[in-house]
Structure formats: structure tokens, C-alpha cells
Structure 1
Amino acid sequence: MRPFSILPDPSMMFWSERHKRAYAVLEYGLMTRAPLTVVTGEVGTGKTTLIQALLRQTDASMKVGLISNARGDRGDLLRWILNAFDVPTPPQADYVALFQTFQDFVLSEYAAARLVVLIIDEAQNLGAETLEELRMLTNINSGTDELLQMILLGQPELRDIITRPELRQFAQRVSATFHLNSFELETSRDYIRHRLVQAGGSGNEIDPAAAARIHAEAGGIPRLINKIADLALVYAAVGGARTVEAALIEELIADGLILTARKEEPVQDRLVLAARGDAKRTLP
């Protein structure tokens, strides 16, 4: 098993404190049937892996649809959504027909005692107008029962879009939100050790100095750590070395195999949980 594959793999999940909190927010959204839950983070911080882990916990009481990289104009979003739930639609259907089809689907699932959960990855690509269209879909919910839940994952600019004045109604529907920052040095070291052990190693195949150099070059982004560590293990094997040292990482850099990672601007840690009413509480 490759310890540092860049593909999302819940079985290799490293539960940093930040990832535990992000997952708690996702679970909170499902448990309370929150209409909108939002998790953001830089590319490669593990948002998709979190969702894959969450999907393993869903049961027959939920009908889950997953959309990645959705784009398009008004009406296209509904086609994306219906396709995610395998609901057939005529190519010539107009917006009203598409909306009615979706509403009928949600109501039929509710009648069967199933909650409809829509997960949208890379939601920053939707833009302000499409996000407002999503908010309108939550109007399907009525009375005391929530028929439709949405979980949005995206890059940091998604937070910027949501906090625009014209999307204040959308923001008010968001019951829980969390931002995944990049790793600190010690967390990166623990992450590297964890992946090595999970793959059957001792955890010492990459020494602490090399791990620190990987962290600095990757800017603490897990996906970039994986790419650098994977190359380092290959270089070590070719050279007959049993341990990756900092000098080998410098060799990778000198050979031009590593693109310097852009360091993330720090985002203030904030975990906001809101009940269905107006009351909110903020946790550190």
C-alpha cells in the first residue's frame, strides 16, 4: 500500500483536532437536520476525505446525492441535482418542470421516511446567483419537518461569497460552518508518521528533520505533503536509503520535482452552531 496516495481514502484518515471538529460540524448538521452546513478549506486540506468518511456513516433513512464541480446557469443546477439522485428528466423540460420534478422527488422520499441530503463539493464554483437558487430550494421545507438538507464544501472564497450583503438570507440559513486550516509543524509530523504506520511501516521511514522540511515546502497542506513524501520514498528506494533525511528533500527541490506551495493566509478559527431558531453560540 502506498502511504501517500493523493486520492481520498477514509481508511487512511488522520484525525487531527481540526478534522475532528470539522467532522463534528458535519455530524451536527445531519443530526439536527440543519438546512445548510458549510465546510471550507484550502485545496488539499481533506474536505473530500471527510465527506467520504461521513458517507460511510449514512444509513437507509437518508437519500444522499453528491455533486462535484457543478457549473452552469439557472436550470442547470436543478439538472445537476436531479442527476445526483438518479431522477430522470426530459431534455426539453423547463425550469418550472424541473423544480416540480425535484419537489415531487423530495416529497416522495419524505413519505418513505427518508431524508434527502444533497452534498455539493467545490461549491465556490456555483457563484452568488446559484447559491441563492439553492437557498430557494430549501423553501421546500415546511412546518416542523426538514425534508431537504444541504452540505456545501468549498475553498476559502466560498466564505467570502456567502458573507456578501446580497446573500444575507443564505447566510441566515447556514446552521453550522467550519474552516479547515493547514497543519502546524507538529501535526504534519504526526500526519506523516500516521500514514507510514497505516501502510505497514514503522513510522520512522521519514525522519523528523525531513518531515519538517516537507511541512515547510508543502505549507502544511496534506495533499502536498503526500506528493512530496511519496517522491521522497521513491528517491530513497532508488538510492538504497532506509530512511528519508532532510538532505534528500533538498535534493528533490534542487531537481525541480517539487513546486513551492503557496502558504495559506490564516483564517480565524471559528465554529458556529445554530439551532433552527435565531439563537446562536460560538465555540473556540
Structure 2
Amino acid sequence: MNTTAPVDIYNSFFGFHERPFTLVPDPDFIFWSKTHRLAYTMLEYGVLTRSPITVVTGEIGAGKTTLLQHLLKTLPEDVVVGLISNAQGDRGELLQWVLHSLGVRFDPAASYVSLFQHLQDFLLETYANGRRVILIIDEAQNLNVNTLEELRMLTNINSNKDELVQLVLVGQPELRELILRPELKQFVQRVGSSFHLTAMNRDTVGAYVAHRLHVAGGTGREISDDALDMIHDLTGGVPRLVNQICDLGLVYAFSAEEHMVTKETIESVLGDGVFFGAASLNGGQANEA
């Protein structure tokens, strides 16, 4: 069975060379809303100023991972990057995640002290070779007070005035709440750059949708204004949910041989119960940025 045929027909019908709305982060489709540009500027600021800790938070689907991928594409060659996604565990386990992300071989049975010394030796050697290390932790809201404190201790490793590792923590809003706990006062003092990525307002949703339609090869007007009003209300301006319902709207319009997604199209999507995103937003009430 050829599962790609429906997607090909969908694209041909609207004149797209690829689907404009997918759930997979794609830097080629990145849309620089004011909020996303500010978030990325703070990411860059943290990296360029060698901030010990940079924190970026936002709701699920707000575009954090897309920004991270764009950052990774623009880092200079003298940067060694360790990327950890969804790390969990307590003291010692996190250190193994760090060593693994940097491609450093280690004995899993080694003591915490040995692992820490192993990491410190790697950082010193990297620094001596004129390079620096950035450790990026995605889905960092899954960490706890102990592991965050362990990460802070890594920023104490230095050579003269230069710190040997920078931390970039990216996660959901719970991460911000976690960091602000009284036990993590020392951690907060090391945060040199931070930003909270909010949802898009109605105007931004319209610009975002038109941008993705254009990038895919469309006119940017395949989704009507009244449909966009409804899409914003249903999704609260969360990019991933906007992608999901716009994609479904295009499928329904294609099925009806209509070249524009209208409010009636979106109502049909909702009526058939195929869009589950609204249930995650307290009934789909809009959340203005």
C-alpha cells in the first residue's frame, strides 16, 4: 500500500511542493514572530556572552525545539555541543547523560568522583585546544532540584577566568517554576539569560499561517480570515496545534474539492471529532500573547 499518495494529491491540488503544516519541527519553515525573535536573541545572547546558564521556556508546541535546531545550525566550528533530550534520573545518572552527549567514553560502573574527574579532564583538554563546550538540555522540566544543582556545579569548572562549559536549558513552564524554588537560589544567580516563549495572538497566527503556505509554494490565501479567527480561538495560538488543525482543514477542503479552507471547513473538522488539540487548552479558549 502506498501511503504517500494521499499527501502527493493533497500537495498537487493546492500547488504545494511539500506539506505546509507538519508536527515535526522544521527550521526551513521557521517563522520569526516578535516573540520567537526575542527568544532566539536571548539564546544567542547567552551563547555569545558565555553566560553560565541560559533558560528558555514555553508551552508544549510553542516552537522551542525549532529555535534550538536553528541555533545548532548557526554555532561556530569552535563549539562542541552536547545535546540531551528528556534526561531523567538522580545524582550520577545525569553525569552519565552529559558524558554520553559529548561522545566521551566512560565506565558505567565508575564512581561519581571518577566520572566527574573524567568530564573535567575532557573540558580542560577541549579548552586547551581552543574550543568551548555548550551543553543543551531539552525537556529540562523533567529534572529535579538535585539534578539542577548538579548542573550548576558543572559551571564551577573553570580555567582562570574562563568557564569551561555553558548550559542551555529548554523546557515547559514548569521548569521556570522549578528554578524559582528557594533551594535553587545559587542556580538562579548563575542564569545570565532567560526568556519565556508565549503563544501567538490572532494577527501573528494569520502571518504564521500565510508564511508556511508561501514556503510550501502556495499563495498564502488558502485559508480564509474567518477560518483563521476560529483556528486562533481553538488553538490558543500554540504553533503545533495551529499546524495540526490547518493540516486537517486542507485535507477536508481537498476532499470537498474546494481550494480554500473556510470557517465551515473547520466546523466540519470539529464536527467529525478528528481534532483533539482543543481539549488540551481548557475548552480551546484563546490565550493572547
**TM-score normalised to structure 1 length:** 0.92
Identity, % of aligned positions: 53
Contact 2:236–2:287 (8 Å) recurs in 1: no
Structure 2: where are the runs of 5+ without partners? 1-17
Residue 182 of structure 1 corresponds to 199
| Deviations 1:139-183, CA, capped at 9 Å, x for gaps | 102431121100000100111111111100000000011000000
Residue 29 of structure 1 corresponds to 46
The runs of at least 4 aligned residues of structure 1 exceeding 4 Å deviation read 263-267
Counterpart check, 1:258 vs 2:275: yes
| Greater mean deviation of Cα atoms: 39-48 or 140-149 | 140-149
Contact 1:181–1:266 (8 Å) recurs in 2: no
Supply the AA of the counterpart residue of 1:152. Answer: L
Residue 239 of structure 1 corresponds to 256
Supply the AA of the counterpart residue of 1:55. Answer: L
Q: Which of 127, 132, 136 is the equivalent residue of 1:115?
A: 132
Q: State the Cα RMSD in Å.
A: 1.5
Residue 233 of structure 2 corresponds to 216
Contact 2:201–2:287 (8 Å) recurs in 1: no
Q: Which of 56, 65, 81 is the equivalent residue of 2:98?
A: 81
Structure 1: where are the runs of 5+ without partners? 270-284
When residues 199 and 266 of structure 1 are mapped into structure 2, their CA distance, relative to the original with a 3 A threshold, is closer
Rounded to whole Å, the distance in 2 between the matches of 1:97 and 1:5 is 44
SS of the residue 1:67 aligns to: strand
Residue 11 of structure 1 corresponds to 28
SS of the residue 1:139 aligns to: coil
Rounded to whole Å, the distance in 1 between the matches of 2:159 and 2:126 is 15
SS of the residue 2:134 aligns to: strand
Residue correspondence of structure 1 range 45-56 to structure 2 within 5 A: 45-56=62-73
Rounded to whole Å, the distance in 1 between the matches of 2:53 and 2:175 is 13
**TM-score normalised to structure 2 length:** 0.90
Rounded to whole Å, the distance in 2 between the matches of 1:219 and 1:136 is 38
Rounded to whole Å, the distance in 2 between the matches of 1:109 and 1:17 is 36
Give the total of aligned pairs: 268
Rounded to whole Å, the distance in 1 between the matches of 2:286 and 2:243 is 21
Residue correspondence of structure 1 range 150-169 to structure 2 within 5 A: 150-169=167-186
Contact 1:118–1:151 (8 Å) recurs in 2: yes
Rounded to whole Å, the distance in 1 between the matches of 2:59 and 2:286 is 10
| Greater mean deviation of Cα atoms: 219-228 or 90-99 | 90-99
SS of the residue 1:96 aligns to: helix
